[in-house]
Amino acid sequence: MLRLAVLLLLLANAGYYAWSHGLLQGMGLAPAATTEPQRLQQQIDPQNLRLLPPGGQPAPAAEPQPESSNSASAAEPPACLQAGVFDARQAELLRKAATRLPAGSWSLEPVQATRRWMVYMGPFADEDTLAKRRNELRAIGVAYDRPGAALEPGLSLGRYSSAEGALRALSQLGAQGVRKARVVQERGDTAGFTLRLPAVDEALRAQLETLQPALAGKPLRSCA
């Protein structure tokens, strides 16, 4: 009797399993479907959702920002440059060289050059000695430039309107460790010319190399 009860219980469990898993669907025996495929058609696409601020009005679309460019940079404003003083012979050579520049971009202006003195090193025997002296001056932080054609190869450590001013500068340079410098008169009272370039932009600056041989070692400086 007990065996019969166990057997009936097993058969009942097997029948329920087959019915609940749709194994008897071919015989018309299956539980009612609980899926609702129509809900899939009613779902809202999440990519179309928009968040509204308080008040219910949609936020204005952000205007696209222009892309910044690291390579673009503002052009430098034109600069005024001048060099001199040049004597009559030097001015004539400079005038010929400057004809290669755009018309109206330069002028040679007459000036009355007064006496000027220079703290000077040189002349040196060769370019190697000149390079050695430059390195020595850079090491102790002393500025220099070219002294001009008449005093090449050498170094100018400063120009002064009086001999007394040049001598004071020489003494100060000696305290800094400068040796073998001296004061020379760069020029006397004489008429001369100054080269003036009132508006040097990037295009004109690229052409100024053509003037270098005629500048007689005189650098182009700001007009200010």
Task: Kindly tell me if the per-residue pLDDT of 94 is higher than 60.
Answer: yes
Same domain? 102 vs 194: yes
Instruction: Write the CATH number for 161.
Output: 3.30.70
How much is the pTM?
0.42
Question: Mind listing the pLDDT tens digit for each residue in 99-111?
Answer: 999 999 999 999 8
**Judgement on whether residues 108 and 194 belong to the same structural domain of the protein:** yes
Q: Assess whether 195 and 178 both reside in one domain.
A: no
Dihedral sign for Cα 195, 200, 202, 204, please: negative
Confidence category of residue 72, pLDDT binned at 50, 70, 90: very low
What is the tens place of the pLDDT at every residue in 15-41? 777 667 666 666 666 666 555 555 556
- Whether 129 and 109 share a structural domain: no
Q: Residue 71: which pLDDT band, with cuts at 50, 70 and 90?
A: very low
* 182 found inside a domain: yes
User: Does 64 reside within a domain?
Assistant: no
| 145-165 confidence digits (pLDDT tens) | 999 878 999 999 999 989 999
Q: Confirm whether 6 is domain-assigned.
A: no
152: in domain: yes
CB under 8 Å to 169, separation ≥6 — which residues? 119, 157, 158, 160
Assess if residue 184 is contained within a domain: yes
Residues 124 and 172 in one domain: yes
Q: Estimate the share of the chain in helix, then strand, then coil, as percent rounded to the nearest 5.
A: 35, 20, 45
**Least confidently predicted of 22-36, 130-144, 207-221:** 22-36
Alpha-carbon Rg for the chain in angstroms: 47
Residue 211: which domain range?
78-114+190-224
* Nearest to 183, CA basis, from 119, 122, 123, 116: 119
Calculate ∠ Cα 90-94-99, nearest 5°: 155
pLDDT value at residue 55 = 59
Does one domain contain both 123 and 166? yes
Going by the DSSP 8-state scheme, the letter that residue 215 receives in this structure is S
Q: Are strands 116-121 and 155-160 parallel, antiparallel or unpaired?
A: antiparallel
